[in-house]
Amino acid sequence: MFVSELLAIASATCIALSSMFIGELNGRVPLMRLARWQLTSAFLMTVIAATFAGGWGTLGIWQIEALIASSLAGIVVASTTYFASIYTAGPRVTALLFSLASPFALLFGYLVFGETITLRQGIGVALILLGIVIAIGVRRRRPAPMIPLGDDQPVTAPAPPAQRPPLIGIVLGVVTALGQAIGSLLARPAMASGVEPFAAMAIRSGFAVICFWAILAVPIGRSEKTAFRMRDFGFIVTAAFFGTALGMSLLMAALKTGNVGLVSTLSSMTPIVILPMVWLRSGQMPRAHAWGGAALAIVGTALISLA
C-alpha cells in the first residue's frame, strides 16, 4: 500500500551509505573529479541495468527531454551549487538549507499537479522537517563525515569557529534545494507515463556525465593535481552503486506512483538515516539532539504512511 514511501526511504538509506564512502575520499580526490568518476560509473551501471530490464522501450522523445531537463536542474546545477555552498557557508548550513527541497517540492506539486495532502500528512511533513532541523541544525564538535569539506581538508579537522554565513553561501544553498525540487518535479510526468526507473536514471546521469566531462575543456577544469589511486576509484564506484545508481533509481521509482512532495520529503531523510552509520564508523554516539530529531522524523513518517 505504501510502496512509493518505502522506495523513498530506501533511496535515503542508499544515499546515506554512499555518503559514508564519499566521506572516506575527503582530501584525497578533488570534487569535480569525484563527480565525473561517480556519475560515469553510475551511468554505466544504470545502462546495463536498463538493458537487462528492457527499460529502453519505455522511453519516448518527450520523456527523454523531460529527464534531461530534470538532470540539468537536479544533478548538474544542484550538485555544483551544493559543493559551492559547502565551501562558502559550511556543511552545517548547507545541510540545513537543503531541507528546503521538501517544502519547495510540496509547493510545486500543488501549483503544477494540483496535488493535495491531508491534515494528518501535513503534520507528518512538519515533524519530518522539524526533525531534520534539530538533527543537523545543532553545531557539531566536528564536521559531519558524510559531507566533504574540501579536497585538502581531512574529515577529522576541527569545526571552524561559529560565524554568520555569507549571503552568497545561503543563496547557493537555497538554489541547491530549489534545483532538487525542480528536478523531481520535471521527472514526475515521465515516470508517471511508465518509464523504467533504471532507464530514467541512465538518461539523467548520462546527461550529467557529458556536462561534467565537458568542463575539462575549460582551463580551470584541468587544474587538478592529485594522483590517480585505484583504491580511491574503488570507493567511488561503490558510492556510485549505492548512491546514484541504486538510490536515485529507487527515487525515480517512488516518483512514478507517489506524491512528489511526500516522496521528496521522505527521500530527504538522509541526514537522519546516516546517524547510526556514523556511530558504527566512528564509534562515537551522536548527541541527543540528533537522536531527538530522528525520533520526530520517525513519528512524522508514521503519520504520513498511516494517513
Read off the pLDDT of residues 243-301 as tens digits, 9 standing for 90 and up: 777 887 788 788 777 776 677 677 777 777 777 887 887 777 777 777 777 677 777 76
Amino acid of residue 53: A
Would you tell me how many other CB atoms lie within 10 Å of the CB of residue 114?
A: 7
**Which pLDDT score is estimated for 59?**
92
**Which pLDDT score is estimated for 197?**
86
Residue for grid cell 491531508: 118
Residue ranges of the chain with pLDDT lower than 50?
Answer: 1, 140-151, 153-155, 157-162
**Which pLDDT score is estimated for 203?**
93
Q: How far apart are CA 304 and CA 307, in angstroms?
A: 5
Residue for grid cell 537555497: 174
Of the candidates 281, 305, 283, 285, the one whose C-alpha atom is nearest the C-alpha of residue 128 is: 305
* DSSP secondary structure letter of residue 103: H
Q: How far apart are CA 109 and CA 103, in angstroms?
A: 10
Amino acid of residue 12: A
Residue for grid cell 527499460: 55
Q: Cβ neighbours of residue 274 under 8 Å, at least 6 residues apart?
A: 16, 19, 20, 144, 146
Contacts 24+ apart (CB under 8 A), 49-53: 49/198, 49/202, 49/245, 49/249, 50/196, 50/198, 50/199, 50/202, 53/196, 53/198, 53/199
**Which pLDDT score is estimated for 92?**
55
Residue for grid cell 540545513: 96
Q: How far apart are CA 22 and CA 42, in angstroms?
A: 14
User: What pTM does this model have?
Assistant: 0.70
**Which pLDDT score is estimated for 148?**
46
Largest pairwise CA distance in the chain: 54
Q: How far apart are CA 244 and CA 204, in angstroms?
A: 10
Q: How far apart are CA 269 and CA 32, in angstroms?
A: 25
**Which pLDDT score is estimated for 144?**
46
Would you tell me how many other CB atoms lie within 10 Å of the CB of residue 47?
A: 20
Q: Where are the domains of the chain?
A: 3-59+113-158+190-306
